[in-house]
Structure 1
Amino acid sequence: MAVNADIPRSSFWAVEAWRGLAALMVLWAHWGPPLHWPMGPMAFAFTGVDLFFVLSGFVFAPVVMAGHAPALKAYVIRRIARIYPAYLIALALYAWLAWHAGKPLLYLPEHLLMAQMQSREMVFYYNPVFWSLPSEVAFYAAIPFLAWWLGKNCSVRWPWVFILALSLRLILIYPADGSVQNLAYISLHHIPGLLIEFLLGIVVWQHSQQPVSTRYIWLSWLISVLGWLMLAAIFIEMERLSGGSYWKNGQLGLIAAVFFALALWASLALPPPSPGGKLWLYGVWSGKLSYAVYLLHIAWLKPAQALVNAWGVLAGSALALTGLGVSCWLLHMLVEDPARTVGRRLAKRVQARYKSTSGSHL
């Protein structure tokens, strides 16, 4: 089985399995209340998005910390091929659903350019989960510059990058105003505020190759799980005290990202399951389908509600999840994976041509 070229081979299974878990958490956060699923701590499952950000930081850590900027053209081709084709299909689907429901097709240019993070109405207009994609793309855009700036001075400059990112997150919380969605509020939910969560993934990568004793691995697991459950309890209580959903309560996601980073580090220290086994296949395919699940699960919410009303919670949910799984598999096999393959081939050609041209001038 081909390894995702963005993921270190030794970490492939763990990262894919975590991606699958992150997608499941986001799905549960959106499907749980309307489908009458048990919630409890899963009311905090929206932090699956924060887990995605940590995983992205880990995956791109070798590029950021390489000591030089990546070949820009090849890098851009791969990033566009990886994220945009599947997103374009999903956007077309949600635009059609909006048109079918009689909604005007507003903000399409912004969504086509992944520049929809300008207001809550704009970013939520077609699919609420689209809010995180501009931040992901902005991180992709920042990577070449960050890698170039760190250069050979990574050990000296890296701590300052981390301190700056953490400071930005904390500084933005006070002036941010969700009622008017001012610049500080938008920035808090974009790269200035979210960069620290990506950087946490880079920290995990920095420490993932160091030997560690088994007791520290299990202690890290225990701290991360109990820490996340504690945060979930705090979040639920804060929501109760504030009388409903309040955006500042979501800032617990930063602490959740710390626990996710700790759990990711602990999982990387454990041996992966045997390749080809059931656990291996489950982890790999949950990761492969995670982006499609993230994109499509909101489109399946109304059909899922209808199925639950007709068949009951268990049977209706199972049918809806089956339909979602099939649609995600089709999107992956027909669009996402072929586009990624083409992008890699084009990137290799561009990089080879660049090396050949550079060599001719030596």
Structure 2
Amino acid sequence: MTTETGAPLRHQNRALTSIRGIMALWVVGHHLQFGLSVGGYDYAAWLFGPGYVGVDVFFVLSGFVITAVHRDMTSSSTGDFFIRRIFRIYPLHWFVLAIILAIWVRQQWIEGLPLVTDHLASLPIVALLLQPYLLHEPNWNVASWSIGVEMLCYLLFPLAILVLRRMTLVVSLAALVIAVLYERHTHSEMVWGWPAIARGLSGFALGMMVQQMTLLFPRPRTRLATSLELAAVGLMAVTVLLRHLALFPIPAALLIYALAAERGVLSRALSGPVWYWLGQISFSVYLLHPTVIALFSGLMPPKRLLAALGLTLGQGLTALVWTVLVIGTLLTLASLTWRLIEDPARRCGIRLARRLG
């Protein structure tokens, strides 16, 4: 997952940025389930359990936005594209990885254990974001697998955009149908190997084709845009309630198409400052959340201990308090890393690309 808040567009779609933030929190909720289970709690699993599909929506969003921003890419601007992508992803990734490494070394030192060289040997692979291709287990920052796959999407994008620009209406519609079917076919929770790679490629391709549709068909008017937004949200809810999660990215793609028109009621609502702020820091939220959850898991009082002490806070209240503390801490840290790491690195990449260009 990445954000494109600094994209060189004349106008930025705030609602699409906000959707990225909402999906990031849903992924956080999915991983919170593991922390809650350590303490013996089962809190809102029906809602947070399917949150892993938020990553698939990231891929669709990324394909859509990257295509919109860099549709006119030429051979001379390819270097500019890759420089911006590298500075957008790697600085924050390395910063979070350094924090995880420091925590791990401290734990080894406190427990008096020797450094596990096998574990350290995988660190360069993760640092280069090659773990989806070379490792076969979650390692270091488990969330970073998706940006490793996204880097592959970026590598293929210059060729893909050349093909996309030459597509006729009929070919584009056929490609959209294929992208929808392939997205459903590649549904998986895997975070390494071909299943993980296919998740990223199919979602990114679907996003590219949705962006193509916004150019081939006129923007829907206000009533139609609102109807499409509400229909898409309704279908997304149905796929979650019925656990047909393989279908979730498809109505999500419809929602992206509707929000791109910037005319519907939901688009206006999601353009508010709070939602937009959440979207801006979503990349930091995504990369930081496994570490924050892991640190807080040790502070979660086991349910059986509370019962033995006669401390009953009501069903789910302890889990709710713990969840609020985790998310509050996460959003605070993400705001800081966005301001101190993400945004400066992004601006540095833009300046460097302009100088070299």
- What TM-score comes out, normalization by structure 2 length? 0.77
User: Are the structure 2 counterparts of residues 186 and 167 from structure 1 closer, same or farther at C-alpha, using a change threshold of 3 Å?
Assistant: farther
State the SS of the aligned residue for 2:272: helix
1:111 Cα offset (Å): 0.8
The answer to whether structure 1 residue 204 and structure 2 residue 196 are counterparts is no
Please show how residues 203-352 of structure 1 align to structure 2 within 5 Å.
Answer: 203-208=209-214, 210-235=218-243, 252-253=245-246, 255-271=247-263, 280-309=272-301, 312-351=318-357
Matches of 2:76 and 2:273, distance apart in 1: 32
Pick from 135, 140, 155 the counterpart of residue 149 of structure 2.
Answer: 135
State the SS of the aligned residue for 1:211: coil
Counterpart amino acid of 1:211? R
User: Are the structure 2 counterparts of residues 345 and 198 from structure 1 closer, same or farther at C-alpha, using a change threshold of 3 Å?
Assistant: same
Alignment-derived partner of residue 110 in structure 1? 125
Matches of 1:258 and 1:27, distance apart in 2: 21
Alignment-derived partner of residue 195 in structure 2? 188
Alignment-derived partner of residue 26 in structure 1? 27
1:160 Cα offset (Å): 6.7
Please give the root-mean-square deviation of Cα atoms over the aligned residues, in Å. Answer: 3.4
The answer to whether structure 1 residue 57 and structure 2 residue 72 are counterparts is no
C-alpha contact 1:65 1:154 (8 A) present in aligned 2: no
Sequence identity (%):
26
Counterpart amino acid of 1:97? I
1:24 Cα offset (Å): 0.6
Alignment-derived partner of residue 314 in structure 2? none
C-alpha contact 1:17 1:287 (8 A) present in aligned 2: yes
1:137 Cα offset (Å): 0.6
C-alpha contact 2:153 2:201 (8 A) present in aligned 1: yes
Structure 1, unaligned runs of 5 or more? 236-248, 352-362
1:331 Cα offset (Å): 1.3
Matches of 2:176 and 2:89, distance apart in 1: 26
1:216 Cα offset (Å): 2.8
C-alpha contact 1:19 1:52 (8 A) present in aligned 2: yes
User: Are the structure 2 counterparts of residues 90 and 154 from structure 1 closer, same or farther at C-alpha, using a change threshold of 3 Å?
Assistant: farther
C-alpha contact 1:307 1:317 (8 A) present in aligned 2: no
User: Are the structure 2 counterparts of residues 38 and 78 from structure 1 closer, same or farther at C-alpha, using a change threshold of 3 Å?
Assistant: same
C-alpha contact 1:98 1:105 (8 A) present in aligned 2: no
1:300 Cα offset (Å): 0.9
Q: Which runs of 4+ in 1 moved over 6 A?
A: 170-173
C-alpha contact 1:168 1:193 (8 A) present in aligned 2: no
C-alpha contact 2:232 2:254 (8 A) present in aligned 1: yes
Pick from 92, 97, 100 the counterpart of residue 103 of structure 2.
Answer: 97
1:55 Cα offset (Å): 0.9
1:167 Cα offset (Å): 6.9
1:231-290 Cα deviation digits (max 9, x unpaired): 22333xxxxxxxxxxxxx8xx44x2111111112222334499xxx99632122111110
Counterpart amino acid of 1:286? L
- What TM-score comes out, normalization by structure 1 length? 0.76
1:182-207 Cα deviation digits (max 9, x unpaired): xxx822320x4532211222233234
1:7 Cα offset (Å): 6.6
